[in-house]
Amino acid sequence: MAQARTAIVRTADRSAAERLGSVSTGNALELRGVTKLFGALAAISDVTLSVRPGERRAVLGSNGAGKTTLFNCVTGDFLPTSGTIRLFGEDLTNFPAHERIRRGLRRTYQISLLFGGMTVADNVYLACLGVSRGRFSLLRPRPSDAIVARAHELIEAVHLTRARDTLVSALSYGQQRQLEIALALAGAPRFILFDEPAAGLSPTERSELVAILSGLPDHIGYIIIEHDMDVALRVAESVTMMHNGRVFKEGTPEEIENDAEVQELYLGGGHG
Amino acid sequence: MSTLHNLSTRHPVGTIVILALVVGFAWLIFAPWPPGLEQVMGRKRVFLNAIFSGVTLGALYFLVASGFTLVFGLMRNVNLAHGSLYLLGGYIGYGVVDATGYWLLAFPVVFVVVGAVGLLLQHQVFRRMEGEELRQTLVTIGISIVLADLMLWYWGGQSYQVLSPQWLSGPITLPFVTGVRPNGQAVYLSYPLVRIAILFAAIVIGLAMWFVLNRSKLGMLIRAGVDDRDILAASGVRIQYVFLAVFAFGAGLAGIAGIIGGTFQSLSPGEDTRFLLASLVVVIVGGMGSIPGAALGAVIIGLAEQIGLVYAPTYSVVFTFLIMAVVLAFRPQGLLGGRR
Amino acid sequence: MADVLPTVAPRKSLLALERIPAPVWVLGLLLLAMPAFASNFVLFQIFGWSFILGMIALSLMVLAGYGGMVSLIQMTVAALAGYVVAILGTSGVTQISLGWPWWLYIPLAILIAAVFGTLVGALAVRTEGIYTIMITLAIAAAFFYFTRQNYGIFNGYTGFNNVIPPAWFGVDWRQAVPFYYMTLACAVLSYLAVLWMSRTPFGLALQGVRDNPRRMAALGFSVTAHRIVAYTFASVIAAVGGILLVWQNAQVTPGTAGIPQVIDILVIAVVGGLKRPIGPFIGALIYAILSVFASDILHAIGMSGERFKLVVGLGFLAVVGFSPDGVLGLWDKYQARREANRDPLLGGGR
């Protein structure tokens, strides 16, 4: 009897939560109680997070805090064990990865996942093709093709015009990171997840990256995972600290920077 | 036990359906059939015979497929020459029995000889292509073509049957009622003793494998390797030795299965592909890399083949195929396969 | 790799004549003029057969080379197309064959085979990598056993005989020279189709899926859908090859797609080379020459003529062991060495 009652209560809770969700809160990205278990190990647990449209958020935390797992759950690389994920009010918790991308979600990868055997132009062309019709076209693109033109624009936007016909495997590391960003900008992105875009970059390349990120159109919001506090705090308006798979603190960059607990944890653990 | 409990709480309806099916099946096997049922399903003896043949065939499939699945699980090597090892074992076993007259002697001889062939293959060929899964598989295809032709050359195209020993010939009466005589006396099923022995042997070998895998240090290493080869390699174990041992064991088991298959069926060119395919289907259905999966898959496929053969002879292959297609569609990793 | 994946920068049509290199001209003229000096046996039995086997192996090359999926179902798809031609068209088995006109049964045969190939693909792409080989082989075997047991539709063990091409333009297309040109035309067309496909948006995306499925999904591509469509595309080519094969043999039986035949297609494709669409045709020519002349060759070196399979198996092992990219791989290596020798300043090859 008691068991039955808790079950009913639980259902009631859930429907209340659903109602809450359906009343569009106007958030670009909204996570509720997202948990991902690997066997018995919780990579992230009960993460609740919301980002407004156009907002730029940094997610900080030491290695193993669950940041990349969080990204993988959002982009659908794997499904969360529990919890819901909404993009602009639409529940896409159980969508396959490509359906999420077609709804304006983008990501970059920490370790470059590029097509090494293809040229820069082909890589960007594929990215533009992925979110267009004609993915299955058996007609070869004409020079006047809109997708080709769009690809060339993007290549220009990330300063890779001179390397357009170079094989990706022959690019420098910094150029590969730039190409990663170009791939994320293809189509009409509304929200982007940047996974440590500054890792391994030289100081000059870093400032170029900051310039590219700051120059994004205002309506595009993003979350950036970054180890380099300087970069993160320069491009973000708000900060979420994660620790051991949980959200630990949220606030403006100034608040986080001056928080005693964060300083102890982050500076002690992450940069040790 | 706790998983069973979980299952019954999570899927109460499904559990009840499965329980009802099990009970109904048990009734079909143990109880004497009322005349009405015999009109629909035919004689009970025929049904029981189909069930027993199915389980025995499943036992044989299990012996072949368990080596295949173990090798696959540990080394990601789809050994498409596995059927050739089966046939080779059968031919050699026939030779030993023919020369010495001792049926039991064939088993250790074949296990050692075919196991050595497996050892040779792993040591000389596959080890050199570590990590190149596709290339290894292609090599096994080449080896199966060559072995098939060499065996055809030596043993010719005729079919052989391994003679079962005196003490295993003849029927045995089993405590299963097939019908009731007018005078009220129950008639019991009689079934070839040699097949019961095969079934028994397969169960013993299966249990032994389970014990080795779950209770010994070697078994622990192998299971760790099936789950994650990198961990095994990183733990400092001489993984090559584990690979060699498993490959030799899998090959030897296929060889032994060849003697058994040669005893209650026959040996001829083409049997190698037949048993390779049986292994493929069993492993796809049961779950790749899982020994209990191989056992489950083998029994399912064996039963499907034999029941199909009795009740719908034209479509028995279709049953097997349908089972495979349904499993692939709804559970691509196989019934008991881990997630990949 | 770079030559397989040209950039999307504007380029001239595939058929622009001035872009065809000289060796291709020579090869083309040679193939066109072949009936002037080759015997009927060579035209029909070696070249006709090579073109057909090459097309079926080409359909495997599309899946394996561009899609990274080694499928063993292609011979079965081809045989199914042949069966449909025999069942819907005319054959010696009059009680089953329906005798429909060719403009109906040929498209239907291709359609049915393509649907079958697509369904198998849809099952196979649910798993990854080497599982594909196992699953497609198992399905191919099921088809073989089913056709052998089923008498209502597939006429069981004996299959269908007297399946001949329609007499278009009053020509007997089973005569050596017409058959040669018919198969040549089909082979060249399917070769060009594959070459064309490889540079279209679909082909480029397919190769992206092969190299990096996870990234492709993160770019908005449905990896599964692309793989399945690749099966459809490949099945159409295999189906055309299958129809030609049935016409060549004038019969189709379960053995048309028996396990050895299924494996042979893989052997042909691998021996020729899976990197470029010309590979399967090279492999098929080698295979056809070997199988026609094997007994003579074997007798010449003092062995029984029956050991053809042994030769094929050992040859296959040698190719897989020493040149995984097949004959094409050997050719590329040779070219690279020649270039390196010609230009001592650069050295070292590519």
Residue-range domain boundaries for chain C:
39-258
Instruction: Give the range among A222-226, B15-19, B267-271, C73-77 with minimum mean pLDDT.
Output: B15-19
Interval C79-93: pLDDT, tens: 999 999 999 988 888
Burial of A44 (0-12, 13-18, 19+ CB in 10 A): buried
Can you tell me the ipTM of this complex?
0.80
Half-sphere exposure of B63 (CA within 13 A, CB side): 27
pLDDT band at B84 (very low <50, low <70, confident <90, very high): very high
Nearest partner of A250 among A260, A264, A240, A261, judged by Cα = A240
B325, closest residue in chain C (CA to CA): C123
Within 289-348 of C, beta carbons closer than 8 Å to B belong to 306-307, 309-310, 312-314, 316-317, 320-321, 324
Q: Tell me the mean pLDDT in the region C308-337.
A: 84
C9 to A121: CB separation less than 8 angstroms, yes or no: yes
Model pLDDT, residue A6: 39
Model pLDDT, residue B3: 52
Model pLDDT, residue A5: 39
Residue-range domain boundaries for chain B:
42-330
Model pLDDT, residue A17: 41
At what angle are helices B44-75 and B82-100 packed, to 10 degrees?
A: 120
Residue B184 clears pLDDT 50, i.e. is over it: yes
Model pLDDT, residue A12: 39
Interval C264-319: pLDDT, tens: 999 999 999 888 899 999 999 999 988 888 777 777 777 766 788 888 888 888 88
Higher pLDDT, B57 or A10: B57
Model pLDDT, residue A16: 41
A119, closest residue in chain C (CA to CA): C7
DSSP B313: G
Question: In this structure, are strands A56-60 and A41-51 parallel, antiparallel, or unpaired?
Answer: unpaired
C131 to B315: CB separation less than 8 angstroms, yes or no: no
**Integer Cα distance of B130 and B109 in angstroms:** 30
Residue C9 clears pLDDT 80, i.e. is over it: no
Tell me the three state secondary structure of residue B191.
strand
Higher pLDDT, A121 or B214: A121
3-state helix, strand, coil in chain B (%, to 5): 75, 5, 20
Residue B267 φ then ψ, to 5°? -115, 130
Share the mean pLDDT of chain B. Answer: 83
* Dihedral over Cα of A170, A173, A178, A181: its sign: positive
What is the DSSP annotation of C131-182?
HHHHHHHHHHHHHHHHHHH--SSS-GGG-B-------GGG--TTSHHHHHHH
Model pLDDT, residue C242: 95
pLDDT band at B11 (very low <50, low <70, confident <90, very high): low
Nearest partner of C81 among C40, C46, C52, judged by Cα = C52
Burial of C200 (0-12, 13-18, 19+ CB in 10 A): middle
Judged by 3 or more CB pairs under 8 A, whether C touches B is yes
End-to-end CA distance of chain A: 53
Model pLDDT, residue B28: 76
Amino acid at B319: F
Q: How far is CA B69 from CA A134, B226, B261, B289, C320, in A?
A: 42, 10, 19, 5, 24
Question: In this structure, are strands A82-87 and A90-91 parallel, antiparallel, or unpaired?
Answer: antiparallel
Q: What DSSP element (H or E) covers B298? A: helix B291-311
Higher pLDDT, C303 or B60: B60
Higher pLDDT, C16 or A30: A30
Alpha-carbon distance A130 to nearest alpha carbon in chain C (angstroms): 5
Q: Tell me the mean pLDDT in the region C46-58.
A: 94
Model pLDDT, residue C8: 44
Residue C181 clears pLDDT 70, i.e. is over it: yes
Residue B235 clears pLDDT 70, i.e. is over it: no
**Integer Cα distance of C125 and C232 in angstroms:** 13
Residue ranges in chain C assigned as alpha helix (H) = 22-37, 40-41, 49-61, 74-88, 102-124, 131-149, 176-198, 201-211, 213-218, 223-249, 259-272, 279-300, 308-322, 326-342
The answer to whether B284 touches C138, Cβ cutoff 8 Å, is yes
C134 to B280: CB separation less than 8 angstroms, yes or no: yes
pLDDT band at B300 (very low <50, low <70, confident <90, very high): very high
Output the tens digit of pLDDT for each of chain A's 272 residues.
444 433 433 333 444 444 444 445 578 888 888 888 877 678 888 888 888 888 899 888 877 788 888 888 898 888 888 889 999 888 888 888 888 888 889 888 877 788 888 889 888 988 888 888 778 887 877 777 888 888 888 888 888 888 888 888 888 888 888 888 888 888 888 899 988 888 888 888 888 888 888 888 888 889 998 877 778 888 888 888 888 888 888 888 888 878 888 777 766 544 43
**Integer Cα distance of B178 and B46 in angstroms:** 9
Domain B42-330 grouped into CATH 1.10.3470: yes
C146 to B332: CB separation less than 8 angstroms, yes or no: no
Model pLDDT, residue C345: 52
Higher pLDDT, C117 or A186: C117
- Give the best residue of A135, A155, A194 to mutate against chain C (max C CB count within 10 A): A135
Nearest residue, CB atoms, C8 vs list A77, A121, A135:
A121
Within 193-232 of A, beta carbons closer than 8 Å to C belong to none
Judged by 3 or more CB pairs under 8 A, whether B touches A is no
Judged by 3 or more CB pairs under 8 A, whether A touches C is yes
Residue B186 φ then ψ, to 5°? -80, 140
Task: Write out the residues of chain C at the interface with chain A, using a CB-CB cutoff of 8 A.
Answer: 1-2, 4-5, 7-10, 196-197, 199-202, 204-205, 207-208, 211-212, 214-223, 225-226, 229
pLDDT band at B229 (very low <50, low <70, confident <90, very high): low
Which residues does A160 contact at the CB level (< 8 Å), separation at least 6? A120, A175, A178, A179, A182
Interval B185-210: pLDDT, tens: 777 777 788 888 888 888 888 888 88
Residue B33 φ then ψ, to 5°? -80, 140
Instruction: Give the range among B116-125, C12-21, C49-58, C178-187 with minimum mean pLDDT.
Output: C12-21
